[in-house]
Amino acid sequence: MSCHIILQKKGYRLTPQRVEIIRILHNSNQHISADEIYTKLKTKFLYANKSTVYRTLELLKEENLVIDSILEDKIIRYHIAAKGDHHHLICSKCNKIISIPEDIFEATRKIIEEKYGFEISIKHEILIGLCSDCRKS
Amino acid sequence: MSCHIILQKKGYRLTPQRVEIIRILHNSNQHISADEIYTKLKTKFLYANKSTVYRTLELLKEENLVIDSILEDKIIRYHIAAKGDHHHLICSKCNKIISIPEDIFEATRKIIEEKYGFEISIKHEILIGLCSDCRKS
DNA sequence: GTACATGCAAACCGTTTGCAGCCTA
DNA sequence: TAGGCTGCAAACGGTTTGCATGTAC
């Protein structure tokens, strides 16, 4: 079900700004910062405002439609919460983003559970490294 | 080798404030924020200043004596960089912190390498979850 | 028509910076 | 004694908030 319909069903208004922000999030396969969204939004709405971006992201987050994550650069980035698409590899050289399945941490999860009795709740993990292309060069 | 000696060897001055900040970091087995360090520092130095805290943490980070990490609450926390003590489990209920060995991600690392040709560089990972005590209750 | 959403400006908060004076080496 | 370090105050940048106006429903 699309974000728009979910918002509408919950009684939120589908303003052009919200529609555009959702479109920007969808069109960006990168994890994107609030500021980048704002810049893109401005190309369509001359008077668009950052607080609209933040308020919309807050709303989408509350409705579990977007996920925010924070990397070592301390900038919060957002992406659409697609089912089973919560973990990513990000190449530190070319910034390529690869989605990885949820069960990738199963081995680690089991080891930690057996060794420490600790139950990890990995919701959205990002691993930095080098992709295969960049390793070759 | 202790932090003090390393700093001294590199030509940095061992001011009372720096010594105390290092002591606070050592005495706190928790990951601790700049603000918490500042509050503790003030109990000893009435006129202590936040910028001193930030500048000292910056220095210790540069010398690889402390590691900073950022969790979902977006607050940067610091802890002494002990060898082979880079990964932690943090219990979301009682805030207990458990250090885990570096090789804990080996299985995941291997899977990702085989499947995607992607070489992850996990330097300092924090996993949130429930510790064995809190799972029982 | 009405309540919700927007744009604007100002506040907020953690962090950084410039500077004068202080203190470690 | 000299240059690095501190405290202070002000700036900074990302984010949040209060308010009047605008608009989706």
Identify the top-confidence range among A45-49, A80-84, B7-11, B74-78: A45-49
The residue whose CA lies nearest the C1' of nucleotide C24 is B13
> What is the count of residue pairs from A and B with beta carbons less than 8 Å apart?
83
Q: Which amino acid is at A134?
A: C
pLDDT higher than threshold 90 for residue A25: yes
A81, HSE (Cβ side, Cα atoms, 13 Å):
16
Q: Which fold has domain A86-136?
A: Dna Ligase; domain 1 (3.30.1490)
- pLDDT confidence of residue B78: 94
Q: How far is the CA of A50 from the C1' of C7 (A)?
A: 9
Q: How many Å lie between the alpha carbon of B46 and the closest alpha carbon of chain A?
A: 31
The candidate with the shortest Cα–Cα distance to A56, out of A34, A71, A31, A36, is A34
A74, A92, A108: residue with CB nearest B107? A108
Neighbours of B105 (CB within 10 A): 21
> For all residues of chain A together, what is the average pLDDT?
90
Segment A100-123, tens digit of pLDDT: 888 888 888 999 999 999 999 877
Q: What is the pLDDT of residue A123?
A: 76
A121·B132 Cβ contact <8 A:
no
Footprint of strand C on the protein (CB under 7 A): A 11-13, 15, 17-18, 45, 47-52, 55-56; B 8, 13-16, 33-35, 50-51, 54-55, 58, 75-76
Q: How confident is the model at residue A1 (pLDDT cuts 50, 70, 90)?
A: low
Q: In sequence order, what are the residues at sequence separation of 6 or more whose Cβ sits closer than 8 angstroms to the Cβ of residue B8?
A: B14
Distance CA A16, CA A32 (A): 20
In terms of average pLDDT, the best of A52-56, A78-82, B8-12 is: A52-56
Q: Can you give the pLDDT at residue A69?
A: 87
Question: For the segment A119-136, what is each residue's pLDDT rounded down to a tens digit?
Answer: 998 777 888 889 999 999
Poorest-confidence range of A53-57, A82-86, A95-99, B11-15? Answer: A82-86
How large is the average pLDDT for residues A45-63? 97
Question: What pLDDT score does A27 carry?
Answer: 92
- State the pLDDT at residue B84: 64
Burial of B131 (0-12, 13-18, 19+ CB in 10 A): buried
pLDDT tens track for B57-89: 999 999 999 999 887 778 899 999 876 667 888
The Cα B72–Cα B88 span in angstroms is 15
What percent of chain A stands above pLDDT 90? 57
Q: Where in chain A is the domain with CATH 1.10.10.10?
A: 3-82
- Give chain A positions within 8 Å (CB) of B70: 70, 72, 74
Domain with CATH 3.30.1490.190 in chain A: 86-136
pTM (predicted TM-score)? 0.85
The number of beta carbons lying within 10 Å of the beta carbon of residue A137 is 7
Report the pLDDT value the prediction gives residue A83, as an integer from 0 to 100: 64
- State which residues of chain B have pLDDT below 70: 1, 83-85
Give the architecture (CATH level 2) of A3-82. Answer: Orthogonal Bundle (1.10)
User: Chain D: nucleotides under 7 Å from a protein CB?
Assistant: 4-10, 14-18, 23-25
The spacing between the Cα labelled CA in B93 and the C1' in C16, in angstroms, equals 34
Residue A49 pLDDT: 97
Average pLDDT over residues A29-41: 92
